[in-house]
Structure 1
Amino acid sequence: MGKYIEVELGVKLYVEDLGQGEPVVFLHGWPASSRMFEYQSMLLPQKGLRFIGIDFRGFGKSDGPWENYSYDRMADDVRAVVDKLGLERFTLVGFSMGGAIAVRYMNLHNEHGVSRLILAGAAAPRFTRAEDFPYGAPVKGVDTMINDTHKDRPAMIEAFGKQFVGKQPSKPFAQWLSTICLESTAHATVRAMESLRDEDLRGDLPAITVPVTVLHGVQDKICPLELAEKTLELVPQAELIRFEESGHAMLFDEPDKFNETLLALLQ
C-alpha cells in the first residue's frame, strides 16, 4: 500500500510498502520513480519479502520543493523514511542515481539499519569525468541534457530512454517508461542532474562494511562498466555480477536473471 511520510517540514515522500518479511528498500534512478520496480513489487511479496519503494523528492508522487536535491539531502530523506517505518535490518537496493544516494546514505548515516547493499548500474564512484577520473559521462553531455530539459523535456526523456535499455523495447514499454519519467517535476529533473554532474562518492565508498553486490550491464552507455570496476577498487569486499546482454537497465534487459539474482542474494 502507498503512504506519505514527512521527511522535513512541508515535504512528504511517497512510499510503496507491500508484503511482509525481511524489508528490501529500493531507490530509483533519474528521472524515474519507484514505479520502475513494479515487477519486483509484485515478485517480492509473493516470496515472503517486504517491498519498500521510495519516490525521491520531486519524483513520482512525492512533493517537489524548489531546492535541496543534493545527495546529502536525499540520503537524509531515506533516513527519515527508514526511521518512520522502524526498519532495523534491511537490504538497500540502489539503481543508477539511487545507487549513488545509497552510497551517500551508507557513509552519512553510518550504514543505519542496512544489512546488505546492492548497487545496480550505480552512478558511482561519480557519474561524470573529472581531471583525476577519466570515466563516466562528459560534463558537457550532461549540460546538454539539462539545456534540453529546459527546451523540450519530453523529447529529452525519449532520447534518454533509447539509451536506458540495451535491447530495442516495445513501443508500449517505451511509452510506459516515458510516462513514469514525465511524472517528475521539471525542476527536480534539472537539479538532481546537477547533483549527478557535480557530486563525488570516492570518499564515501571505503566506509562501507556490509556485504556489497554490484550488478552492472556490460553494454551500459549511461554508467559504463568501468564505474563498477572502480567501485570494486574502493570497496574490496564487493562482488561484481556482470549482465552480459544488458545496457543500463539490466532489470529490463535481462529481467529473469535480475530477479533470480536478487532473490538469491536475499535468501
Structure 2
Amino acid sequence: MSKLIRNTATGIMAAASLSTGASLASTEQLSLQRTATHITTRDGVQLYYKDWGPRNGPVVTLSHGWPLSSDSWESQMIFLAEQGYRVVAHDRRGHGRSSQPWDGNDMDHYADDLAAVIEALDLRDVTLVGFSTGGGEVARYIGRHGTSRVKKAVLIGAVTPLMLKTPDNPTGNPIEVYDEIRQAALENRSQLYLDIASGPFFGFNRPGAKVSQGLIDSFWAQGMQGGHKNTFDSIKAFSETDFREDLKKFDVPTLIVHGDDDQLVPVDNNARAAHKLIEGSQLIIYAGGPHGITDTHKDRLNQDLLEFLRQ
C-alpha cells in the first residue's frame, strides 16, 4: 500500500433556532428545513453544519476536502470566530455527520448543497473558502449559482481547474492514478486513509518531517466517518470534473493559496493554472508546503485569510 501511495502521490486531491415548521415564502424556492445542526435539502439529504461566531459578523463559509468533514477546519473556525467573523462549515453529503445518499455524489450536487446551506441560513456577502475538493465545490457553486450572495472567494490546495490528464490538459494525471486509488479504497479504505495521512497529505514522508500522530488519527477518523460509497464516488468527482468554465465566471476578489511541495494536487497544474483563469486573483505559494496546509501551516494561513478578509 505504501508503494501505491508513493506512486500516486501526485494524483489525488484532494439560524440556530428550530424552524422545521416554517415554510418558505415561495414554492419556487428550495424546499429546505433547518434545525440547529442540520439542513434537509430538497432531495432529502441531511447536511450537518456548524455556525460559529457572532451572528452579525461578516460571513465566511468553509468547504472541506476529501474524505474529511467540517472538523478539518477547526483551527480556522475558532480563529476567525474570535476575530468577529460568523463562520459556517458543513459536512458534505456522504461525509462526516451528514446523511449518506446512494446517488448524487458529484460536484453539481455538492455545489447545490452549499447553496442550500447559504439560502437556508440566508447568508449574504459571503466569503467562500474551499480546500482541495472543497475548492472544486466553491468553483462549481459560482459556476451554477453566481455571486449574488458572494463577496470574495478563497481556493486552498484546490483541485481546480482539472486534475485529470486530457488532450487539452496534458499536465494532468492519467486516469490510471485514480483507478489505483479506487482499487485501494475497495480493498481496504481504512489502510488507504492511514497511508495518505502518514505520507503525502501532511508531507510526513519527507526527510526530517515532524510527524504528528494526532493529525494522522484525525484524518483517519474523519475519513472513516464518511460513507464508503460516497467517498468512493467522490474520487471521480474531484479527479475528473472540469472547472475551467466555472473559474472564468469568478467576478469577485479571489485568493489562491497552495504549497509548492503539494504531492497530491500539484501546484503548477492547479494553483498556477487557476490563477491564470481567474482575472485579478491573488496567488500565495507556501515554500515547502504540503497538501494539508490548513494544519501544517495553520498560523500563517489564518493570518493570510484574515488579511484577505479585511481588504
TM-score, normalization by structure 2? 0.83
**Structure 1 stretches of at least 4 aligned residues deviating more than 6 Å after TM superposition:** none
Question: Percent identity, aligned pairs only?
Answer: 30
1:39 CA displacement? 1.0
1:115 CA displacement? 0.4
1:261 CA displacement? 0.5
1:15 CA displacement? 0.5
1:230 aligns with 2:255: no
Q: Letter of the 2:201 partner, please give it.
A: F
Count of paired positions: 267
3-state SS of the aligned residue for 1:203? helix
1:208 aligns with 2:250: yes
3-state SS of the aligned residue for 1:26? strand
Q: Does structure 2 retain, via aligned residues, the 8 Å contact 1:71–1:195?
A: yes
Range with greater deviation from structure 2 (117-126 or 188-197): 188-197
Q: Does structure 1 retain, via aligned residues, the 8 Å contact 2:257–2:285?
A: yes
1:74 CA displacement? 0.9
> 1:193 maps to what in 2?
235
Q: Does structure 2 retain, via aligned residues, the 8 Å contact 1:221–1:247?
A: yes
Note the residue ranges of structure 1 that are not aligned, 5 or more in a row: none
3-state SS of the aligned residue for 2:100? coil
TM-score, normalization by structure 1? 0.96
1:17-51 deviation per Cα after TM superposition (whole angstroms, max 9, x unaligned): 11111111000001101100011121111111111
Bigger-Rg structure (1/2):
2
1:255 aligns with 2:298: yes
Q: Letter of the 1:241 partner, please give it.
A: I
User: Equivalences for 1:9-158 in 2 at 5 Å?
Assistant: 9-20=43-54, 21-158=57-194
3-state SS of the aligned residue for 2:245? coil
Q: Does structure 1 retain, via aligned residues, the 8 Å contact 2:157–2:259?
A: yes
3-state SS of the aligned residue for 1:266? helix
> 1:182 maps to what in 2?
224
RMSD (Å) for aligned C-alpha atoms: 1.3
1: CA distance, partners of 2:43 / 2:243: 28
1:254 CA displacement? 1.4
1:220 aligns with 2:262: yes
Higher strand share: 1
Q: Does structure 2 retain, via aligned residues, the 8 Å contact 1:27–1:94?
A: yes
Q: Letter of the 2:238 partner, please give it.
A: L
Range with greater deviation from structure 2 (25-34 or 227-236): 227-236
Q: Does structure 2 retain, via aligned residues, the 8 Å contact 1:106–1:112?
A: no
Range with greater deviation from structure 2 (167-176 or 71-80): 167-176
Q: Letter of the 2:66 partner, please give it.
A: W
1:160 CA displacement? 1.7
